[in-house]
Amino acid sequence: MQGFDLKKIKTKIERIARLLEKKYGPKKWKDRGNPLDVLIQTLLSQNTNDRNRDQAYQRLKTFFPKWEDVLEAPFRKVVGALRPGGLAHQKAKRIRKILRWIKRERGRLSLSFLRKLDSQQLKATIGSLEGVGPKTFYCLLLFGLKREVFPVDTHILRIGKRLGLIPNKMTAEKAHQWLAPLIPKGNSLSLHLNLIRFGREICKAKNPSCHICFVSKECLFCKELLHD
């Protein structure tokens, strides 16, 4: 893309990654459950915050301990369990549709077979399912399968544009492909989680705390504010 020097952006991302790790520390892999658990959690995170997502997921697992139970229960009860996460009807419909697809294709409700597939096979198998957009797919790969990928959520898209890492008019969908070759090898997990924390605590959507920002020297947004 014109006006963007990818080599310079890659070097800039490396500097920012170091600053973030110095402030927040490196991140290690944690067990977030099996791939199917991670997929459902990520679906529930759409259009809501982490607190609401966690509440909806916990209710779902409390009311329906096995994924088979979600398929067998009355639809209205699944919707009721998901109510705290918002868009409960839509999410219940998508989750049940995905569970039915897994059961039909694999004979049992498990996505463990995904570990044996390469990226292209994964995209063809899971990426085409309703509700599984780029962010959901990449989160499944990163957190459920421990693949070296970099999901772009609303925080990362906003921060990336402010720092000059992502073109201003680029969508989150295209930003996944744009950033993929620019992320330092072995740093996807730490950079992803540290940027999200940075976006919640400092580089907020409204009223960002530029006066205490420790990456302000790298930020185009801060430089524009200083010139106003």
Q: What amino acid positions are annotated as catalytic residues?
A: 135
Report the alpha-carbon distance of residue 223 to residue 73 in Å, rounded: 55
From the CB of residue 45, how many other CB atoms can be counted at a distance below 10 Å?
A: 21
Report the alpha-carbon distance of residue 206 to residue 161 in Å, rounded: 15
Report the alpha-carbon distance of residue 218 to residue 223 in Å, rounded: 9
The phi and psi torsions of 32 (rounded to 5 degrees) equal: -105, 15
Helices in 46-87 by DSSP H: which ranges?
A: 50-63, 67-72, 75-82
Report the alpha-carbon distance of residue 110 to residue 34 in Å, rounded: 8
Residue with tokens 């993929």: 180
